[in-house]
Amino acid sequence: MKGFARVVVDPVKCDGCGKCVELCPFYSLEIKDGRAFQSGPCFLCGGCEALCEAIRLEPLLEVRELRSLR
């Protein structure tokens, strides 16, 4: 899956509310079996991570590589 980050969802903290799915402008998240999961590429907007304590983003590129994409 291409993108800039991997979306890691804590299955204990995620209650499957779906707010992250609604918020994601890239349609990268879905709810399955009552939990959020990454279903598409993440482009590091950070909205889901700011919204929900069950989500953290793991960048797939180094900071210098991200800066060079500007």
Q: Is residue 46 over pLDDT 80?
A: yes
Q: Which is more confident, 1 or 23?
A: 23
pLDDT at 3: 85
Q: Is residue 22 over pLDDT 70?
A: yes
Q: What is the largest CA-CA distance in the chain?
A: 38
**CA 70 – CA 58 distance, rounded (Å):** 19
User: Going from the N-terminus, what domains does the chain have, and what CATH number goes with each?
Assistant: 5-67 (3.30.70.20)
Spatial CB neighbours of 3, under 8 Å, sequence gap ≥ 6: 28, 40, 41, 42, 43, 44, 60
Its pTM stands at: 0.82
The residue written with tokens 């499957």 in the block is 16
